[in-house]
Every structure is written in C-alpha cells, then in structure tokens.
Chains A and B, each alone.
Chain A
C-alpha cells in the first residue's frame, strides 16, 4: 500500500465534487469563503462542510490527542471531527462545527489543533507515542519532583482544541420569555405532523428546529409522500402553520435544555448565518419557554462502527453521505464502500449510485441481505457482501482503500484473509440512537430497547412526550402517525377540540432489524470517540483496571466528554464495556445526559447584562448634581455615592483625594457641610400595633417614644447577633419612620414582613419601603442650625423648639420636608428628607443658603472619618459576627421584654468575656497609618502561628480633627483589662505599629456638640 503520498498535496489536486443539478442549494447565489486562508466558492444553502466537500477538501482538522488527520464525519450537530475556528478578530469562534455552519459571504474558517499547519502538524508525534498515551497514563506518572505543575505546563499546551480570544464581543444578545400550550421540539416529519394537528385544534403552539428550514431528516432523503417528493408536503404544512396566528415556527432555534416545571430553553441564532448582525439586531437570542405540554420530536442520530483506523478523512456516517448528495448536491467521494449493520446503508448505496458515484460494495455484517432491496441492488449493480466487515482502512490524509473481511460465526474473529478495495469514501452505519437528551434533562430515565439496539425514552417525566425517531420509531410512516397521535391526545387533555389530519402515504420500504455490531475484531486504532480520541483498547484497559462502571469508564477514558458529548460514540463505548463485562447493556446503563444539548455561547446567557449594565446602578435624586460638581463616586451596594468632591481645578490623584477629604471634614467640624444620605433604607411603619412591633424587633424599649422624637436602636438576628442598626422616629400615634443601613435595607424590610406575615399575623402593622420616595441629606456642623433657620425663616429651630433627636415637618420654600435632628458625624446635624423629585432643588437651595458659612458637600470618606472619630459602628464593625456587647451597645439590650434574638444571645460562646470588644486605637507615634485589616498581636516579632488578639476594623489615616491617625478595632476582653497597648501588624504590607488602646469615642465624648 502506498501511504497517501499524493494526497499530501490534496489541496492542489482538489477536484470539484459538486453535482450538476439537484439538491436544495441555490446555484444562482454563489458564495465566496476561505478555509485556512485559501479561497473557495459554495452556494446559498450550503453548510461550511458541504461547501468544503464540494471543493474537494477532505482534511479539515487534527484530532484531540494523537493529532490524526480528520475529515468531515457527519452532516449535523453531532459532528465529532470537523471543528474549525470560525470568523476572526473579535468575532472569532473556536470549536465550531463545520457541519452546522450555514455558508455566508466572506466566511473565514481555520483548522485547529495543529502547528504550524494542517499538513505539517508537529504533534503528530503523539500518534507515534500513542502506546504510552493510553487512557489515564498521567495518573501513573509525573508524581515526583518538580511536581505536577511543572509537567502540566506542557500537557496543557498540547491539550485543548481551539484558541480563546482576548477581545470583547462586538455583538449583542437578547432574551425572550415565551408561553405556549404545546411546545414541539424538532421540525422533522414527526414535529410537523404534531404541529399541524395541534395548530388546527387551536392550541398555542411553538415549533422549534435548529435548521434553517423544517423537514428534519426528510430533507436529506428522497422519500415520496402521497406520491410527490416529500418537500411538497413540508411546504404545504408550513404554509398552513404560517397562517395560524397562534402557531410560532422558530427555525435556527435549538432547544438546549429541558428544566424543571416544563421550562425548555432554546437559543435562536438570529444572525449567525450572516456575515454580521444587521443594525439593531442581536446575534443570538435566549428563549425561555414555559409550556403546558412538550412534544419531543428530536429525531435520532446515526452511530459509527468501530474498526481499525475508522477515523480517516473519507469515512463518514451513511446518512450524512446521503444528505450531502441529496440535499447539497455534493459528491462526498467518488468510489464508495458502504459498511452497515442495518438497512440504512442500503439507502445510502442507492442514493450515491443514483448520482453516479461508484458504489464498490455494501459490506453488511448481518447474515442476511434484506430481500426487498435485491431488485434495486441488481438494477444499480451494487454488490453486497453479507456477514462481512471493514477490517481496516488506508490512506493518510484521506481514505484510499479499505480492507474487507468475513466475520466468524461468533463475531469475534475474521475468518478469511481480508481483501483490499480502493475507495475514497466509506459510509458507515452502526444503527441509530434516539435523541433522548431533552427527555433525560426533564428527569426521564431511558431504557434499552433490543429491537432498535439503543436507549429509548422510558416512563414519562414532567410533561415531555417523545415521538417519532426520538422515541425509537424509525419508519417515516410511524413518525407521521406518532406526531399526529400525540398531538391529538395532548390537545384533548388541554380541552381543545382535537382536529383531524390525513397522514400522507409514504413509499418507504419495510425495515429489517438491526443486528448489533459493537466492534470489529482486528489490530490498529479503533476509534470509539473520534473527538476525544478514545479507542477500543482504552475501553478494554479501563475494564482491566476496574474502571467498569460506565461513569468510571467515561471519566477514565474521557469517552463522550468532548464538545459533541458523545452523540455518536457513547453507546458504542458502553456496549463494548458491556461485552467486556459480559453483561447486558441495560444493566450497565448509560451516562447522564446533561444540558446543553449542543454547546451554547455564554454571551447569550448574559444577554444585555454586560459591561456597565452588569448590575443595575441606583442613583440618588441628587446624582446629577454630584456628577457635575466634582464628585468621585464609590459603590455602596448598587448605589453610587459621592466618595469626595474635587474642587474645580483639581485632577483626580491620591494627594488631591487626601486634600479633599481633609477639607470636607474640617468644614463640617468647624462650620457646616452637606452629605447625601438618600441611600439609607427607609421604611414607613403604620398601624395600631406598631410600637409593640418595634419593641419586638429592636432590642431597646419603644413604647415610650413620644411623637416627634427619634431613637437609635439595634436589631438582632434570631441567633442573638447584631443584624442592623438605625434610628426610628415616631411621626404620629401609630406612624413610625425607620431608617436602616444602606446595605441591609432590603433585608430588614423582608425580616419585618416575615414576622408580620408568618409569626405575628395578629399584629396590625403595615410596612412599606419608602427609600426611593425621600431624598435625604444631612446638614451637619456647628453652623447647621443657622443654615436651617435661614432656610426656614418663619420657623423657630432653636434648641428648645427643635431639640436633639427631635423630628419636625416643615415646608421649605413650598416643599414638604421631614427633618430629623440626628447625627452620625458627631456635630449638630439635621437630616433633611424631601420628596425625591425635590431633592436636587432643595440640595441646591441649602448650599446657596449656606454659602455665607462656606458650606461644602462632603462624601462618604469624610463621613467615615467623622463617624470613626465618634466611635460609631458601621459596616466593618457590623459584620454579622458581633454581639451587642462586642460593640459596646449592651446598654441597648432591654431586660424587661423579649425581642428577636433575646433567647439566643446569652449562649456561653456569646457571653465569653474574652471575646474581642470594640476599642479605639491610636498609633503610639501619632503618625503611622494603620491599615484596616491589620491584625492585633502582643509582639510583632513572633513567628507564626501567632496568637491574634483582634483586628483593626476601620481606620482614618488622619483625623483632621485630632491631628493624628485613629482606628476602631476589636481587642480580646482579657487584653483590654490587662494592657494598654497592642501591636497592629500587616504582614501583607510588611508593616507593624504599636497602638494605644483607647475608648472608641475619640471626639466629644460627652456629645455636647449634639445637644445644644
């Protein structure tokens, strides 16, 4: 045998393989495209695969592990071999199945997994090394030094298929939610028949198919329906369905998963068949379909046969060969051998012969040739060799001959010396496997059916009914009837008047049963899984080593783990294992079918939520003002808040940030500032039991709070730890207004609703979030009262009329305002709440009025420093692990009542007096910047493991007020009692600083500034 010497240059000796007529391509629309940089032409209606074959290109890729030359194996989404890199630049799509790509003008494709090029792939060496690379070889070596990570570097480089990209995707993705009575997945004869019946009955129907046109398997066949070519029937049905308003036909739409509650998800390829999405159009759209009933008419997939060197370019599924001839008018080869164990091969033989392809022989492993084929075989002078098999193949870059031998009676050996025939196409059929994937996703368990030698759907799961080839019914007649029957049953169940449909007569032949042939005896590599290069010997090795469960088999050999998920290979592999174990296939079972049915792009799942739209952004009513006035924003939950404000000429920089923050703090401490606090959660509480409710929710007492007063409170979780804090004000007899921390706003509302609805439904209390209703700003600083009185020229806001913790409703220039005299900064301060649409107006008015006092807006940084100066706890302290006592708030725990958390807060671990407690911390040198997140230790020189005494929770690098850095932190109770100093260490920064432990309130400990 001459090993493919001339084929090496197959590109040059390419031969046009397009038939002169026939097929469903549009010869008036030629389309130019490139493969590996070379220019080719195909036609509208081609797939990339059919166009390549038409141009005589057979070698399209290299295999995963051994880098063997590979060609086009199928004509559909099950393709294991022909994976190409489609498009280029920022639209590059690795691992794209050439058989599922519709040809479009300018299409660019490249082969993958080869270097430097397809013909000269250096990693072909792996093919020679293959004896060392059997399944799981890496588990047995590379254990010693320098460690796996070293070897892994090389292994990873060799593995993988296509390349990822570094670019952002220029295309858009969309989502759509749908509802229907009956969803039909699969637009073959079964699905079409079902759709017509259901549609006529008036049900809301969605019919999906992943192809550009309906018809399914029929498009690749030459069947007649009612004595006319089948497409007449298809067109008639489509026309009728198109006219029904309640029926949606979705082509190029692939259902990828059947999830709970009969929700089926699909991806519509809106623009994949075009060079680029048109303006305003997306590339793909995710469909979420909620169906009352589902018909799974997903068809079946043909299986390969397992024999030596069954992977060469030129070996192809029999139905695919037929489809290339019939649908695409392409000669997939010029001299064909058919190898089959079922009737399917004969159909291929006839269809190939019809267009003048020389069919050398039909090699049928069955003992008997189906009689009804004899006439046509004779007419077309096709030789059939019964009880025989293809033993081996030859040709390096493409098939050039096959060896045929006779099978012994027991099927375990080859009886005679095989003979060689030359052929460039070997069409194989090992039987058909129903596409039970979606059925299995829905929770169904497939069962083995000996008659068709495949797994078929078992008991019904959810409301997904399989029909046609998907159910193991392979005759066209059965498919049409099943489609109709299941649809009429389902419409009746949904109370529609079931409609009649006359099923067309078919011209198909009876089917003679398949005789399983799971593998052909012989040496050489017999590929079971073409994509992952899993061979028969890998499976026998797995068996020998005890990886005998199908799941172990899969994971040890990687059988079925490629992008095709073993659509063509799984059953063959499992059957070989069954033979090795001498157990029936149904006993060893099948691996789990998982979504997606075919690989799905991640962009579609993200839809529009990308880039800046990843998570919604929440803006306060004053946002626009902040933006125009130098605010640098910071994230707080979803909110954007001003962190600090740069003055007009300042550029963002670290120094300017420090300057700005300092300036803001000083302004508030010495004069007056204004901060946007709209993000605080605000909850309106009404009802006669409101006080009682607050009493149960907060740890302190609420029954005596007078109208017009606010009070600070903390809430615990049921486990006794602090949940949230805030102030609540009494607006009226039975009307309260609660504020929560920004981050807990939603959680607190839910928490309260839970108790009101589920635990204490007897309480008459209504809670409503009014966070968005009110724009809120805190006017803080010694001059704040003066500003306020200017704003309210007719009102008295002196200390008596409007005392600390007072709440008043005023009218500011016609705008109704609720003003709370509460303070986070530690200064005299008023929180002004106005209906949000007035927020910006009032904000500006306050700043105008305050101009004489040099008022400034301030941001979260300044606010943070001031609250540290005051020892107020915030997010870093309220970390969900603290007790009230840890935070120094034990005085807020009422002993006179039960409240949420009161029963669990006294558990021994929570009362432990050595628990870290809130303290103030000042660097001994009064200058060192201590990082939040530094750990407190006794001695910074100790070697690990070092006992930890606590940590720094919040730090102000400079308290402008005190003139030195300050921090809040937690220190173990026993240390607080015994020592005055600790070290803060930050090994991450290589820093350590000695700190003095102080009271957490650094500034105005008696709170005099608040009170008058």
Chain B
C-alpha cells in the first residue's frame, strides 16, 4: 500500500520490504475469506518529538495547534487518523506519523526553538505493517505477552513491546486494525514470521 506521494523523492524511497512482498492470498484461506489482511504502509513520515524538561508548557499545545493533532497525555494511547497520528512513546515523548508529504520536521523547526522541542526523524528507520482482520489479535497473541483483549487494548491504544522477539510499537487503529512499527533492519525477518504465524488463518497481502 503506498501512501501520499507528493514528495519528489517518492519514487526513490525504497521500502525494506520492497524485495520480499508477494501480493495475493496465502495459507489456509477459508470460505469466509482470509482471516487477515496484511500490507505495508509506505512511505510514511515518522517523527519523534520530545520536549525538554525545562519546556514551556505552552509549547506542546502550540505544536498541537500547528499540526492539528493532539498529543496524548495518557500512557499507551494515540490520537488522530491515517492522515496524521500521534502516539505516546514515553514520558515527554511522542511519535507523529503521517503519509509522507512536505517536510514535517522543517515545519515544526521553523516555528520552535530547538532547545524546547527535539525532533528525530525516524521515517526511514521503521518499517510499518498494517494487520487487519478477524484473526489479527490471534496473530498478535502469538508474538507478545501483552493482553490483546479488546477490553484492555482497544482503538487508539498503543503499546511498545517485544513482538516476535523484536522491539515493536503496535497501534490499535480500529477494533481489528493494527499498525506495527519495527526497526527497518529486521523488517524482512518480521515479515516472514508474521506471515508464517498467519498461515493457519489464511491471509491476503495487499
């Protein structure tokens, strides 16, 4: 799945999964159709935003205004939609994610002094996989000890966890839609193990 392509570099941004993705239906696809739909989200802008300890409390609100997205103050939650989303990463730390457009970093940097907010571009450092479907939680259950039950991990929740032995951020976009962020270098391995785990449910790669 390709997202936002206004950037002139778009054609050259090559996902870590470019060489491995095979589209189609695989595994034990039942009459009800595949249990899972899996795709890569690429290219995205993924920006880590941190505020200084000594920050002016206004700063965050102003950035929030500028970007038109709230920064969740509750641990393990997210805000926004596919167009622009913010995830809680840790104390005073968030991730802003959006389909690659104009340089988000520049946008913020021009308005705010670098001693108040710290931006780290991680757009290329993460591979993002979207997992969707009735068996999505079952697959997550294979990889991590977080309680994936709807009651504890619903829409707009996110966790940073060890998923199939990799550091991963999982964002619950909707009841059965999850965005998974993992380090780019492991993308191929992650992709393989994810598909392997999904085989018994049947899956479709889009």
Chain A interface (Cβ < 8 Å from any Cβ of B): 174-179, 204, 279-282, 288, 290, 608-609, 613, 616-621, 624, 639, 684, 686-688, 732-735, 764, 766, 768, 770-775, 814-815, 835-841
Q: Determine if A179 and B50 form an interchain contact, defined as CB atoms under 8 angstroms apart.
A: no
* A290 / chain B contacts, CB cutoff of 8 Å: 145, 147
Q: Determine if B193 and A613 form an interchain contact, defined as CB atoms under 8 angstroms apart.
A: yes
Q: List 9 A-B contacts (CB under 8 A).
A: A281-B200, A616-B189, A618-B183, A619-B16, A684-B120, A771-B125, A837-B16, A837-B123, A838-B13
Q: Determine if B142 and A616 form an interchain contact, defined as CB atoms under 8 angstroms apart.
A: no
Which of A280, A639, A688, A770 meets B120, CB within 8 Å? A770
The reply to whether the CB of B80 lies closer than 8 angstroms to some CB of chain A is no
* B193 / chain A contacts, CB cutoff of 8 Å: 608, 613
Q: Determine if A836 and B141 form an interchain contact, defined as CB atoms under 8 angstroms apart.
A: no
The reply to whether the CB of B165 lies closer than 8 angstroms to some CB of chain A is yes
Which of A617, A766, A838 meets B50, CB within 8 Å? A766
Q: Determine if A280 and B28 form an interchain contact, defined as CB atoms under 8 angstroms apart.
A: yes
Name which residue of chain A comes closest to B51, CB basis: A766
* B53 / chain A contacts, CB cutoff of 8 Å: 764
* B16 / chain A contacts, CB cutoff of 8 Å: 619, 621, 836-837
Q: Determine if A687 and B184 form an interchain contact, defined as CB atoms under 8 angstroms apart.
A: no
* B115 / chain A contacts, CB cutoff of 8 Å: 687-688, 734
Contact indicator per residue, chain B 162-192, by CB within 8 Å of chain A (1) or not (0): 0011100000000000000001111111101
From residue A810, how far is it (CB to closest CB) to chain B in Å?
A: 15
Q: Determine if B185 and A619 form an interchain contact, defined as CB atoms under 8 angstroms apart.
A: yes
From residue A595, how far is it (CB to closest CB) to chain B in Å?
A: 18
Q: A174-B142, A772-B125, A774-B124 are in contact. List 20 more A-B contacts (CB 8 A).
A: A616-B166, A616-B186, A617-B188, A617-B189, A618-B185, A639-B185, A684-B120, A686-B50, A686-B114, A686-B118, A766-B50, A768-B122, A771-B125, A771-B183, A772-B184, A774-B125, A775-B124, A835-B121, A838-B13, A840-B14
The reply to whether the CB of B27 lies closer than 8 angstroms to some CB of chain A is yes
Which of B125, B186, B202 meets A770, CB within 8 Å? B125
Q: Determine if A773 and B125 form an interchain contact, defined as CB atoms under 8 angstroms apart.
A: yes
Chain B interface (Cβ < 8 Å from any Cβ of A): 8-9, 12-16, 19, 27-28, 43, 48, 50, 52-54, 114-115, 118, 120-126, 141-147, 149, 152, 164-166, 183-190, 192-193, 196-197, 199-200, 202
* A734 / chain B contacts, CB cutoff of 8 Å: 114-115
A282 to B196, CA, bound (A): 11
Name which residue of chain A comes closest to B52, CB basis: A764
Which of A621, A771, A838 meets B9, CB within 8 Å? A838
* B13 / chain A contacts, CB cutoff of 8 Å: 835, 837-838
Q: Determine if B184 and A280 form an interchain contact, defined as CB atoms under 8 angstroms apart.
A: no
A176 to B148, CA, bound (A): 11
* A840 / chain B contacts, CB cutoff of 8 Å: 14
Q: Determine if B186 and A618 form an interchain contact, defined as CB atoms under 8 angstroms apart.
A: yes
Q: Determine if A772 and B185 form an interchain contact, defined as CB atoms under 8 angstroms apart.
A: yes
A179 to B144, CA, bound (A): 11
Which of A608, A620, A772 meets B196, CB within 8 Å? A608
Name which residue of chain A comes closest to B146, CB basis: A177
Name which residue of chain B comes closest to A763, CB basis: B53
A770 to B197, CA, bound (A): 29
Which of B12, B27, B186 meets A815, CB within 8 Å? B12
* B14 / chain A contacts, CB cutoff of 8 Å: 621, 837-841
Q: Determine if B120 and A768 form an interchain contact, defined as CB atoms under 8 angstroms apart.
A: yes
Name which residue of chain B comes closest to A682, CB basis: B125
From residue B145, how far is it (CB to closest CB) to chain A in Å?
A: 4
A734 to B114, CA, bound (A): 8
* B202 / chain A contacts, CB cutoff of 8 Å: 280
Which of A178, A621, A639 meets B184, CB within 8 Å? A621
From residue B71, how far is it (CB to closest CB) to chain A in Å?
A: 16
Q: Determine if A177 and B120 form an interchain contact, defined as CB atoms under 8 angstroms apart.
A: no
Q: Determine if A179 and B149 form an interchain contact, defined as CB atoms under 8 angstroms apart.
A: yes
Name which residue of chain A comes closest to B53, CB basis: A764
* Residues A835 and B124 in contact in the complex (CB < 8 Å), given A282-B200, A686-B118: yes
Q: Determine if B165 and A616 form an interchain contact, defined as CB atoms under 8 angstroms apart.
A: yes
* A288 / chain B contacts, CB cutoff of 8 Å: 145
A724 to B41, CA, bound (A): 36
* Residues A175 and B142 in contact in the complex (CB < 8 Å), given A616-B166, A619-B16: yes
From residue B152, how far is it (CB to closest CB) to chain A in Å?
A: 8
A279 to B201, CA, bound (A): 11
A768 to B193, CA, bound (A): 27
* B124 / chain A contacts, CB cutoff of 8 Å: 621, 772-775, 835-838
Q: Which of A639, A684, A773 has the most CB of B within 10 A?
A: A773
Q: Which of A620, A621, A766 has the most CB of B within 10 A?
A: A766
From residue A506, how far is it (CB to closest CB) to chain B in Å?
A: 37
* A621 / chain B contacts, CB cutoff of 8 Å: 14, 16, 124, 184
* A766 / chain B contacts, CB cutoff of 8 Å: 50, 118, 120
Q: Determine if A280 and B9 form an interchain contact, defined as CB atoms under 8 angstroms apart.
A: no
* A174 / chain B contacts, CB cutoff of 8 Å: 142, 197, 200
Q: Determine if A179 and B9 form an interchain contact, defined as CB atoms under 8 angstroms apart.
A: no
Name which residue of chain B comes closest to A177, CB basis: B145
Q: Determine if A279 and B28 form an interchain contact, defined as CB atoms under 8 angstroms apart.
A: yes
From residue B197, how far is it (CB to closest CB) to chain A in Å?
A: 7
Q: Determine if A280 and B122 form an interchain contact, defined as CB atoms under 8 angstroms apart.
A: no
From residue A842, how far is it (CB to closest CB) to chain B in Å?
A: 9
From residue A917, how far is it (CB to closest CB) to chain B in Å?
A: 37
Name which residue of chain A comes closest to B196, CB basis: A608
Name which residue of chain A comes closest to B55, CB basis: A764
Q: Determine if B12 and A280 form an interchain contact, defined as CB atoms under 8 angstroms apart.
A: no
* Residues A838 and B12 in contact in the complex (CB < 8 Å), given A175-B142, A177-B141, A608-B197: yes
Q: Which of A282, A619, A687, A837 has the most CB of B within 10 A?
A: A837
Q: Determine if B27 and A280 form an interchain contact, defined as CB atoms under 8 angstroms apart.
A: yes
* B186 / chain A contacts, CB cutoff of 8 Å: 616-618
A768 to B145, CA, bound (A): 25
Question: What are the 10 tightest A-B residue pairs by CB atom distance, in nearest-first order?
Answer: A773-B125, A772-B125, A836-B124, A837-B13, A835-B124, A618-B185, A686-B118, A179-B147, A280-B28, A177-B145
From residue B29, how far is it (CB to closest CB) to chain A in Å?
A: 10
From residue B18, how far is it (CB to closest CB) to chain A in Å?
A: 8
From residue B125, how far is it (CB to closest CB) to chain A in Å?
A: 3
* B19 / chain A contacts, CB cutoff of 8 Å: 624
A840 to B124, CA, bound (A): 13
A773 to B127, CA, bound (A): 10
A194 to B81, CA, bound (A): 44
Q: Which of B27, B166, B186, B202 has the most CB of A within 10 A?
A: B186
Q: Determine if B188 and A619 form an interchain contact, defined as CB atoms under 8 angstroms apart.
A: yes
Q: Determine if A835 and B120 form an interchain contact, defined as CB atoms under 8 angstroms apart.
A: no
A735 to B114, CA, bound (A): 9
* B125 / chain A contacts, CB cutoff of 8 Å: 770-774, 836
* A608 / chain B contacts, CB cutoff of 8 Å: 164, 193, 196-197
Q: Determine if A688 and B9 form an interchain contact, defined as CB atoms under 8 angstroms apart.
A: no
Q: Determine if B147 and A837 form an interchain contact, defined as CB atoms under 8 angstroms apart.
A: no
A840 to B52, CA, bound (A): 35
* B114 / chain A contacts, CB cutoff of 8 Å: 686, 732-735
* B43 / chain A contacts, CB cutoff of 8 Å: 837
* A841 / chain B contacts, CB cutoff of 8 Å: 12, 14
Name which residue of chain B comes closest to A204, CB basis: B149
Name which residue of chain A comes closest to B115, CB basis: A688
* B54 / chain A contacts, CB cutoff of 8 Å: 688, 764
* A687 / chain B contacts, CB cutoff of 8 Å: 52, 115, 118
A288 to B142, CA, bound (A): 10
* A837 / chain B contacts, CB cutoff of 8 Å: 12-16, 43, 123-124
From residue B67, how far is it (CB to closest CB) to chain A in Å?
A: 19
From residue A136, how far is it (CB to closest CB) to chain B in Å?
A: 45
A556 to B71, CA, bound (A): 66
A922 to B19, CA, bound (A): 46
Q: Determine if B183 and A772 form an interchain contact, defined as CB atoms under 8 angstroms apart.
A: yes
Q: Determine if A280 and B166 form an interchain contact, defined as CB atoms under 8 angstroms apart.
A: no
Which of A178, A688, A771, A835 meets B52, CB within 8 Å? A688
A617 to B187, CA, bound (A): 9
From residue A514, how far is it (CB to closest CB) to chain B in Å?
A: 44
* B52 / chain A contacts, CB cutoff of 8 Å: 687-688, 764
